[in-house]
Structures are given as structure tokens and as C-alpha cells.
Structure 1
């Protein structure tokens, strides 16, 4: 246990430079006294580690000292190859770099670890886009990635859902979500998200910017997506679902909506249950519930119920000619429309 901890301290100092004793204690999950003893043990073993005093002090290795010991366990070596995302790396113009890095990593590994790493590469594959969707190939992705690295501002012409806008942004990071690339761009101290495929024109400016030290891309993205989901589903709808409709929830509703749904414990004589789900606007809610077809009946709010009836009536007008004289084949949408428009109970 101690040998593993000593190796962790050594590799941390080699990777980061100056590190405080408290940071080492937190990462190793031990006391400060234990860290002090470990540092003494490393020094006694001939490792050139020394301390810097003061409020900004800590421990560091002698400049230029490097150890060839990688300390990888079999599981750690395999995990490294799980991060080899060839598709995204290629999108960023780093495909050849990624391949070269993996080749060098394999060459540096002890022979007993190479087999496991090769098995991981052969048996695991990341397919980021959603089912039956294609990954975007934004024209400006490589240029934006370069601007993120070099901390250069961008002038963009962006097409949103509502209008076309011109913006000067400071790109703080890139995110790949379900096959689509996004850039987190700062404007006058506020960070916004832009879908790169919607950027029509882009100019990388000579102006550099200071990246906020407190900005955490992963935390920002998680908070933003959670907040956006809640804003888009700030209302609730009451829906009556058939047994099959309840099963369809997993396929047709997002995790956020499913997690916020409430399902009645008791079913009626036909096995239908009452479900309350988070929804957004009437138009958005109707679009989300249409895939359920006749397996769902909206009970409230009334505006959503009427909108579903209007859509069902439109479907009857479109497909009605093919069902004339064949009552058994009348589309289920007609039944829904008839019930809603006439007030007939289900």
C-alpha cells in the first residue's frame, strides 16, 4: 500500500511540478503527517525532492529529473486505451497524433501489459451519435479547436433557431454531445453555448484573452444542460397510458422527463395508468407525445388536449379517404379526435 502511495506522489510531482502537502494528502487520502514521512522516504531513496516554504510553497522535484518508471497496473493500462476516441480526435485534426501516441504508449509498456491494452482496443468501440444519426462534420471545428488551445478570440456569424447573429466570443472549450460539437464561448463575462454546425462564418482574431481560472468546462456543461432541460420542461401534463404506452416511455421520453414523471400505482380495468410528466410548451409537448399514438390520451392541460385533438383531426382528413367504408380500419387518431372533440369519456 505504501509503495503504491510513494509511486503516486512521485508521478504527481513529476507531472505537475510544485504541489502542496495538503494536495498530496487529499489525493492519497492520508494525513499530512503521513505525507511528510513519505517525502522523507523518497529523499532517503535518492529521489531529488525538495520543499519550498511560504504561502505558495510545496514540494517539487529537482529541475530536469525524470523517472522512466510508469507504474501502470494492468487495469490502468487498459483504461488508457478506453480514452482513445479515434473519431473525435480525427474531427479535431488529431487522428494521426492519437495513433502515434498509442503506438508509443504500447512500445513503452512492459510486455505483460501490452496484451490487455490490445484487447481493449480490439473489443471496445465508441459510437457517439444517437441511433440512426450521423456525426456532424462542422467546417470550422479545426479552426475553433486551434483558437481554444491558443486562447484567441473569434468573430462568428451564427444561425440560431430564431435569427442570424454576429458575435465576438472567447472560446473556452469544446464538447462533443450525441455526435454534435459545441463550443463554450465567453461574451462580456458570460459563457454561452454555440453549436458549431450552425456557425456560418468564422474569423480567428489576433486578439488573445485570459481564460478564467475558475472555469470548469465539465461542471459548466453539466449545470447548463440540467438547467436547460428544466427550463424546457417547466410545466406538467397528465396523460393516460396503456400498458404498452408505459413501456414506450423508455424509448420515447428523455431521461430527464422519465425521472420527473409520476405513475399511478393502480391501473384501471383495461390496465391503463395515469402518468404526470414534465413538459414544455403546448407545441413541444404535442410533438413529444405524438409517437405514442393511440397508446396515450392527454387529460390535462386542456390546451394540450385540444392541440392533440386538432392534430388527430388533421390526420383523419389526410388519411380518411383510404378508410371510407372500412370502419374497422379507421385510424386510431380518428377515435381519439372523436372522443376529445365530442367529450365522450374513454
Structure 2
């Protein structure tokens, strides 16, 4: 949104002093001409932007100028980055602050720009939760967020895959990924990742800590994701798949889609060979079972065998239930005998009805 960009320019000039137009354009992902236009609009709105030509020149705010964005409160300023994300803002306990901050930012813009920003805000919505999933309950998230902002240590009972453990950590940042919140925190000399929904008990302590000046949350998260994915799938399976099979594979995740896109050219039968990173034989077999008969495992042999076993078990359970031959024969004989007895009984009753009396015995 243009409103966000204008705010970013003002904040950059206020925090960093002199900045040239090329740097602003690169950081904000727009053209230099757009930056010039934005700077003119800021000047027209009463923000004293000053330019200086020559080497080392650029744009800066007049000495002593500070903007409070029409009376923005501390909590509203903290919530600025969440404008346009009402769901995450509410989960963090910043819902009202985000709404108030958004209104004040829009009010600070010149009339036409404010109207345009409001129009765009009403037409775009961000929903970070994946399809067929609900946002996880994160009752401790507001406390965690406050501790991150205030740089106060946390104590917690945490449910990990190894069991329940106690931790005392220094919270460095929060990450929202695919609808789940994660805390990045330092415990001792190690920086760890904790899933907020797995925190059983949590409390903020009065102890403050100094956040490492060189810690970059986004860079740390990207590196951890790469390390985790590399350690997760250490084996590779060779597969053959039809065009339909490759299409189904591409829907099993980003790594499978990448493998499907790198498949070799199809042979005369229309099937192509490809390599797929796998986590384990069991996990891969369960995953590939859904591709059905459009796929064949070449290696490893253990995966080929396990996939065959699972397919055979599914086929066995899908067959209609059948009686054992002997049991069926016994049941048939019993039914025949019962039928004969019924016929004899019906015959006797018929004779009685036809005149079996003392004077006229049957």
C-alpha cells in the first residue's frame, strides 16, 4: 500500500538521517521516480523533507523534526507492522491498537492519498492459515509477545516430542508460519525454536536481558528452515511415473513439486523417471500410496516392497467379505432341512383342516 510506503520513507529519514532516493527505491521495491513523487507529496503534506545534492547527498528531515503520526501511542506504534493483518494482530493482543494505528496513519495522509489507501485496504485481506486447517489455540501468545517487546525472560513448561520439559529463555522474536506461531529464544548459549501452542505453562519474569545487536530474526529463520529440511530428507528414491502420476506428485508439497518439475523426458510409454528426496521408507510409502497405479518405485528396494505390501493390504480389505466354503455348505444344508420340516408341518395342518374328526378320521 502507498500509505505504508510513505510511512516507511518518513520513518527511514527520521531514524537514519540522510538517505538517497536510490536506496529508498531499492528497499521499498519501487522506482526512483516513484520515490521522488512520494517525497514531493510528503512535502506537500507539511512534512519538512530537505534535499542535498552532490556526493553523499540525499534527503533528510529538517533538524529537530519528529513526527508522532497524529498522536500515535506507544502500543499503536508497536502494532504498525500488523496493519492489514487483523487475525495475527488479535492473537498477539494488539487488535485494537492495530485498528487505531491504521486510522491515524490514514488520517495523516493528504486527502486523495488517504482515500486511495482506504479503498485498497477494503479490497485486500491476508489469511495466513492453510486450507483445511484452523488457527491453533495460542493462549500464551500475548504474554510471549509482550516479553519479546520488553526483553524480559520467560519460564515455561513445554511439551516436546521427548516429553514435558522446563525452560527459562530470553525471547528474541516471534514467527507466524502457515497459521502456527513459533518463538525464537535463547536458552544459555543456544538459540532454539518453540511452538507457542505447545507451551503448557508460561510466565514472564522481571529479569531483563540485552538482545544481541547482530541477531537478525528473518535470516535466522530462513537458515533454520533450510537446515531442517536438509536433515529431514536424507535419502532419495528413484521413481517412474505417468503424466497423471507426476501431476499428483507435484501436489504433495514443495519438495515433491520440485522433483516432479525436474523429471526426465518421458519414454515411449509416456512414463518419466525422477528422483524424490524421502524422509524414511515408511513415510514415503504412505505418501506415494495416494498416487495409485500411476507410479512405480525403482529403488530403494525396501520402499518398493513396502509400497507393494500396503497396496496388497488395501486391496485385501476392499474385497467383499466371503463365507468359508464349509461354513457355507453347512448353512445351506441347515436351511434345506428347515425347509423340509416346514413343508411336513404345513401338510399335516392341511389334512386336519380337510376333515380329520372322530367320526371321519384322517
Fold match by TM threshold 0.5 = yes
1:167 pairs with 2:163: no
- How far, CA to CA, are the matches of 1:10 and 1:321 in structure 2? 72
Q: Which runs of 4+ in 1 moved over 4 A?
A: 7-11, 23-26, 35-39, 67-70, 80-83
Structure 1: give runs of 5+ residues left out of the alignment: 1-6, 49-60, 71-79, 325-346
Q: CA deviation at 1:180?
A: 0.6
Q: 1:211-243: per-residue Cα shift (whole Å, max 9, x none)? A: 111111111111111111111112110112121
Q: CA deviation at 1:93?
A: 0.6
Evaluate the alpha carbon distance shift between residue 146 and residue 137 of structure 1 in structure 2; reply closer, same or farther with a 3 A threshold.
same
Residue-pair matches, total: 282
Question: Could you tell me whether the CA contact under 8 Å between 2:69 and 2:104 is conserved in 1?
Answer: no
Evaluate the alpha carbon distance shift between residue 26 and residue 163 of structure 1 in structure 2; reply closer, same or farther with a 3 A threshold.
farther
1:27 to 23, 26, 33: 23
- How far, CA to CA, are the matches of 2:111 and 2:82 in structure 1? 19
Evaluate the alpha carbon distance shift between residue 111 and residue 313 of structure 1 in structure 2; reply closer, same or farther with a 3 A threshold.
same
Q: TM-score, normalised by structure 2?
A: 0.69
- 1:76 equivalent in structure 2: none
- 1:321 equivalent in structure 2: 320
1:309 pairs with 2:308: yes
Evaluate the alpha carbon distance shift between residue 313 and residue 68 of structure 1 in structure 2; reply closer, same or farther with a 3 A threshold.
closer
Q: CA deviation at 1:13?
A: 3.8
- How far, CA to CA, are the matches of 1:112 and 1:26 in structure 2? 26
Alignment of 1:41-56 (within 5 A): 48=62
Evaluate the alpha carbon distance shift between residue 316 and residue 36 of structure 1 in structure 2; reply closer, same or farther with a 3 A threshold.
closer
Q: CA deviation at 1:206?
A: 2.1
* CA RMSD of superposed structures (Å): 3.1
1:137 pairs with 2:137: yes
1:295 pairs with 2:271: no
Alignment of 1:1-346 (within 5 A): 12-14=12-14, 16=15, 19=17, 27=23, 34=54, 36-38=56-58, 48=62, 61-62=63-64, 65-66=65-66, 83-252=83-252, 254-260=253-259, 262-269=262-269, 271-321=270-320
SS in structure 2 of the partner of residue 123 of structure 1: coil
- How far, CA to CA, are the matches of 2:8 and 2:283 in structure 1? 51
Structure 2: give runs of 5+ residues left out of the alignment: 1-6, 27-31, 33-51, 71-79, 324-362
Choose 1 or 2 for highest CA Rg.
2
Evaluate the alpha carbon distance shift between residue 11 and residue 111 of structure 1 in structure 2; reply closer, same or farther with a 3 A threshold.
same
Evaluate the alpha carbon distance shift between residue 257 and residue 192 of structure 1 in structure 2; reply closer, same or farther with a 3 A threshold.
farther
Question: Could you tell me whether the CA contact under 8 Å between 1:81 and 1:120 is conserved in 2?
Answer: no
Evaluate the alpha carbon distance shift between residue 217 and residue 67 of structure 1 in structure 2; reply closer, same or farther with a 3 A threshold.
closer
Question: Could you tell me whether the CA contact under 8 Å between 1:171 and 1:186 is conserved in 2?
Answer: yes
- How far, CA to CA, are the matches of 2:135 and 2:54 in structure 1? 49
Question: Could you tell me whether the CA contact under 8 Å between 1:258 and 1:277 is conserved in 2?
Answer: no
- How far, CA to CA, are the matches of 1:301 and 1:155 in structure 2? 46
- How far, CA to CA, are the matches of 1:95 and 1:299 in structure 2? 53
